[in-house]
Structure 1
Amino acid sequence: MLQTTKLLIAVFATFCCFSEAIAQKPLRVYIMAGQSNMVGTGGISTFDYIGDDPKTAPLLKKMLGPDGNPKVCERVWISSLNGKMNQYGGEGFGKLTAGYGVRRTDPTKPDDFIGPEYMFGITMEESYDGPILIIKTAWGGQNLSVDYRSPGSGPYVMNDYQKEVFTKKGKLKQVQAQKKEATGRNYRYMIDHVKKVLGDIKRVYPDYDADAGYELMGFVWFQGWNDFSDLTTYPSSFGDKQYDQYSKLLAQFIRDIRKDLETPKLPFVIGVMGVYGNYTPGTFRIVNNSDHRMQLFRKAQAAPTELEEFQGTVVAVQTASFREDALGFIDQKLTEVKIMGRKLSKKLPDGPNADGSMTPEQQKAYIETYKAKIVTPQEMALWKRAASIGGFIHYYGSAKFHAQAGKAFAEALLEM
């Protein structure tokens, strides 16, 4: 009996030491920032579609708990700051689960969407048996040239082309004032929130062990549409150097992040924009030479990784392959339906309602018939299963895209 008691005491002591060792592991902190695709429009309603593809079915298994509902991570916490354009917004925080994507009504309350943070956190939890904290700050419609412009890039200065364009419109002084007010605003929001969370970690993660401390382990940046589509800041007259300024701004952004967070070698992941995917014909619409511009922009986003100062600590992750061509094909057909609807309502000369004789009911019936001719029932079933909100700019609201991107971002950091 005495021997049994000693054995039980020894086992209990070993277990306690093991538990204490786990509890005292440093908190690993990751920062994720950007615009609307970092916010995330991946509909929870599209989760099942992830399981249709043998390549991504394993991701779905990791994203669902034993009860079939989205998994709640036990060792990953998140603080997510989001709000309407140009507003600081509100914070949602707690254990990481689905629902930290776009929050349409109230940024402090869960909604039915994920961003890259969900699979990012799940992947990190698999790689580390200690606690993890994700701090996410993202706002839709924000650019790097103005909104996220970091201190080292100095004030925003208009180029000659912009001055000419806005002078002709009689808006030069108005636009200059707007840009002056907006310059660096979201960068400040981001830094302020990160410091706020790190200054009181227990508010977000109640079991934080201050003795074990925390380690800033990486930064993920996923942004680009508003700079890509800004043809005054980045005019086509610049030719192949059209987006070179973005590269310079992003390199300085990395330097300033490291300086302001006092982490000189903070690993940094650049999520390269994947809109238009791999340029498969028929899956996107070309406007203002957009396919060529996208190639230039992706190159500009990845350019900082080539700088000697960033070797081994900054990496670019291409996301184009995660964009669904199947959804792109359907989207183009649905766009044709919308165009036909505009032709009817506006009584355009080349439309079937040129004389304006069709009633609203007749127009609706015509559109339904037209849609049935070009979009098959199978395509509509796929669309309802795989897409949610946001359109092509937001990867059709597919959780499959956001899950793959989040996993890739995490793996890139783990490799560094």
Structure 2
Amino acid sequence: MMIPSRVLILSFTVTIATVVVSSTWAAPVKVFVLCGQSNMEGKGAVKHLEQLLADPKTAKTYAHLRSGDEWVERDDVFIKYNDDRGQGKLGLGYGTPTDRFGPELEFGHVVGNAFDQPILIVKCAWGGRALAVRFRPPSSGKGDYTQRDQKTKELVPLPEETYGEAYRDTIRIVKDSLKNIDKLVPNYQEDDGYELSGFVFFQGFNDIIDQKKMDEYGVNLANLIRDVRRDLDVPNLPFVIGELGQQGMEPEKRYAEKHFNFRKIQSDVSELPEFHGQVRFVKTSPYVISDGESFDGGYHYYGRADTFFHIGHAFGETMVELVKQQRQDSP
């Protein structure tokens, strides 16, 4: 979809409109974790979102994100991003950099509309993190990767503490957020309680570019799901695996086989018998627009707002299905 060059670009404003909901909420608070690397950080350009809202052909799809000249925040969906990237009502400003947004934006609208309870999103995302190394789950054990010593230029083993660094940070941030949920969800009362309701993992670029890391990706991803559930003490936690769909439905010919193989690895993990009905693989490649305007070079889904919006929507819809199915299956 091409965006006409003459389209009016609205000026970005930090003034925020608010979606007002009743001050009386159902309990408990539903908590969702969004985790991954740079695409989960969020690279959807606000500049492009403004173009989409200014274009009559696309404005309706994104209309709920804006009220007049102001960006919408929700009174029933809250977010905490890493230790230091901000917290508050769901709206713009939780991407990296802050004039970008990620899957959290539309994901939050979808789950917020689906459930009566207030929502807390805990977003844990860092660019350039491989599952084989920094996201490495404990059950995968220590890896055997190397780095080049800056002084000697020789290859040396990675420091042991590098393995699992992002995994440990994720678990810590989630636990800290739950412990201090009264500081993240306004008017939270201890009697309301909370439930950790789902986990989305959107990651893979730093593994697909290294064959050794790619070869162990399936084992590491399955271990990640098991270990997250164990360490957060939610044995059947619904889990969404976001496809690494960067190159779209038809990857470049020279990379196509690798991308299709990697996507199959991700999908196969969701089909393991032990994860039946609790883990889903969600495609992101259908939302890639490679022949339109790019806002991030050839990386990060071209930085397109429409792509990140639809990815967030797909993650949200799938998570709602998983949570409702689990509710139906519960005795």
TM-score (norm 1): 0.67
What residue is the counterpart of 2:101 in the other structure? 114
Q: 2:126 aligns with which of 125, 139, 145?
A: 139
Question: Where do 1:160-171 residues align within 5 Å?
Answer: 171=154
Partner of 1:185: 165
> For 1:193-249, what per-residue CA distance to the aligned partner results, in whole angstroms no more than 9, with x for missing partners?
110110011111231121120011100000010001123x24xxxxxxxx3410110
Q: Number of residue pairs matched? A: 298
What whole-Å deviation, never above 9, does each CA across 1:358-377 have from its counterpart, x for those lacking one? xxxxxxxxxxxxxxxxxxxx
Quote the offset at 1:53 in angstroms.
8.7
Partner in structure 2 of residue 302 of structure 1: 267
The equivalences for 1:329-408 within 5 A come to: 383=293, 387-388=294-295, 390-408=296-314
- Asked whether the equivalents of residues 23 and 209 of structure 1 are also in contact (C-alpha less than 8 Å), the reply is no
Structure 1 unmatched ranges of 5 or more: 1-18, 82-88, 104-110, 235-242, 328-382
More strand by share: 2
Aligned residue runs from structure 1 range 10-409, under 5 A? 22-51=24-53, 52=55, 57-64=59-66, 66-81=67-82, 90-103=84-97, 111-158=98-145, 171-172=154-155, 174=156, 176-178=157-159, 180-231=160-211, 233-234=212-213, 243-279=214-250, 284=252, 289-327=254-292, 383=293, 387-388=294-295, 390-409=296-315
CA distance, structure 2, for counterparts of residue 170 and residue 49 of structure 1 = 48
Distance 2:195 2:46 in 1: 31
User: 1:209 is aligned with what amino acid?
Assistant: Q
Q: Counterpart amino acid of 2:298?
A: F
Q: Matches of 2:222 and 2:123 in 1, distance apart?
A: 20
Q: Is the 8 A contact 2:26 2:116 kept in 1?
A: no
With structure 2 as the length reference, what TM-score do the two structures score? 0.84
Structure 2, unmatched stretches of 5+, are 1-21, 323-331
**1:256 partner letter:** D
Q: Percent identity?
A: 38
TM-fit CA distance, 1:396: 1.4
For each residue in 1:310-349, what CA deviation from the matched residue of structure 2 results, as whole angstroms up to 9, or x when unmatched? 000000000001110323xxxxxxxxxxxxxxxxxxxxxx
**Structure with the higher helix share, 1 or 2:** 1
In 1, Cα distance between equivalents of 2:86 and 2:200: 19
Conservation of the 8 A alpha-carbon contact between 2:26 and 2:118: no
CA positional deviation for 1:57: 4.5
- Match of 1:149, SS state, is coil
Instruction: Return structure 1 stretches of 4+ with deviation > 6 angstroms.
Output: none
RMSD value, Cα: 2.3
SS at 1:190 equivalent: helix
What secondary structure is seen at the aligned counterpart in 2 of 1:70? strand
